[in-house]
Structure 1
Amino acid sequence: MEGEGAEVVPQWRVHTDGSSNRQAGGAGVVLHTLKGDKIECIIRLDFPMTNHEAEYEALVAGLDLIRAAGAENMVVYSDSQVVTSQVNGDYECKNGRMKKYLEKVKGQINGLQIKFVQIPREENECVDRLAKSASAEYMPVPDQVLSFVQTSSLIDEVMSVQEIDNENNWTTPLVSYLRDVVLPDGKDAARKLKVRASRFVLIKEVLYKRGFSRPYLRCLGPEEADYIMREVHEGICGNYSGVQSLVNKLIRTGYYWPTMQNDAQTYVKACGKCQRFGNNVRQPSEELTPMMAPWPFAQWGLDIMGPFPTEIRYGIPRVLVSDKEKQLDNNAFRDFCLELGIKNHYSSTAHP
């Protein structure tokens, strides 16, 4: 058999995970050395971020630790399918910030023998616990666990303001005002911009929208918004949700742009799978028939059922309500009911 007798090279094992909430973000790393020792590390991320960014921050921190430890052959485990697939080259990375993180990771793994494996969340429980602990309001630090606090993203020093040079970008006047106090001509236009800018904040040259009951939402330009909406709707975590569900999911993921409601409606209407398999009513309308019963068992709903027990009898009903299947909507059945004085009422199909 091919490979028999080949020497098995010992490998370090590294588990990483990231967590993000409205208070802060957290990264957890667990290293298993060749001697069987375990090194645990938690990093508090004190800056706004998405869940995917927190996963990348944890991965970069893990790679920093294993390089510092002198490891050269290792397996990295993560429960993030998006991050693992992008690093392995299975998924194309189109988002600007994700590209920066991916370039950072590729620079760190240069010269190393390393394998990235995506595992279920339940198999990553030890490091998931560390990440959630780091992102808690009060970060508890267990004994013999390395702990750090990080106040800015690892890629912000190379990030530029999103799409600022685009004249049609809605973020341009807001960023210009918050960064350089640039106001448009006209007293009314300047006043409106000041009022609008009070709901936004500029952090590390990136525009975020303030929220009362949620964390800061990263503001997106047209190109980024189109990519994010496509990923959330039909990407690896997408479920082809409806318009309002899609908008709510975009906000929960941590993004905002002013036309997201209209953009989501247009996008869902143009989605072929949503139109073919969506929960849309395609049956023709039917005239509604009031269903009133003057006494118990005077009116029955009927469909193909049975066999019924013969020991229980309630007498002949006054009305039978059924759908329009041929078994109950034919001349023979109508004559049978007419002889017994039973009236036939018909409802829409499958709703007797």
Structure 2
Amino acid sequence: MDGSSNKQVGGAGIVLLSPKGDTIECMVHLDFPATNNESEYEALIARLNLAKAAGATRVVIYCDSQVITNQINGDYECKGERMKRYLDQVRARVDDLEAKIVQIPRGENEQADRLAKATSAEHMVIPGNVLSFVQLSPLIDPSNMQEIGSDSSWTTPLVSYLKDGVLLEGKEAARKLKVQAARFVLIKDVLYKRGFSRPYLRCLGTEEAEYVMREVHEGICGNHSWSKSLVHKLVRARYYWPTMQKDAETYVRTYDKCQRFNNIIRQPTKELTPMPAPWPFAQWGLDIMGPFLIAIRQLKFLVVGIDYFTKWVEAEILATITEKNVRNFVWRCIICRFGIPRVFVLDNERQFDNDSFQDFCS
């Protein structure tokens, strides 16, 4: 295996050689910026994944990178945080295989080096009979890191039960799996969800779901629809996974362009109008609240006064909110206690906006 990188992208070249002489060539296009060492680690991880998928139990890995080889063998110390995460990913996979990593001169790694450089080129040319993949993000990203040997998808228990009759451990878990499996069907090793009066829906794992959701939302035919519309489009496209609604809401809520250009009223900024209170109890705000639940003596309204300087609150419960009751409240609770104020701040309610209350204020 070998890795290659430039300023924009990286590439990995892998050659699998069986004891019988069968050869498989593979190119992995790394669609993200990566250093040479990161590309080497990406190539190594892809090499181990392919070997495990091919059913290998023992592998010998030939690599021309002295740094990578010695870090894995423990001769070099791994200092960078990203390199440590890559090293952990490699060691987790090496534990599942009887693997040996050998450093070879660059001249003996010509075949893998040629594939890596062709993959990281600006215009990638794929030769015939060569496997090719596109990787959108580093394998050490949290979204791509999965525990080795664990169920990597919600479809795994369903596929195992429908295909081989394998149930989960525990009586209750097995019962729930049987009930859930009745709503699914396995066609040519592909899981579909049954539907009432609608076609079968293709069940997607996490990575597939993210890709499909991104294409429907912002692809060549996407219109950046909101979450509910996005879910309806995914169902019409015959896809399904259990957390469609939640994932769509999260995706749309965090999508930058949708937040920038969403149809939200954005009034131009203006300077705030200050309402200064020169001294305590010189400026009061009056308002009426209610009706509330009826209390004793049919009390159900509140008339409230707040001093702008001290934030002191005066309130009284009323059965009716007539102009006379409001005027008596102002006289008893404000003027008789704190003196004649300088300003009353009122709204246009009829208890305040009338000749009698204005004459009283005068």
TM-score, structure 1 length as denominator? 0.40
Larger radius of gyration: 2
Q: Tell me which of the two structures has the higher relative contact order, counting C-alpha pairs closer than 8 angstroms and 6 or more residues apart.
A: 1
So what's the TM-score if we normalise by structure 2? 0.39
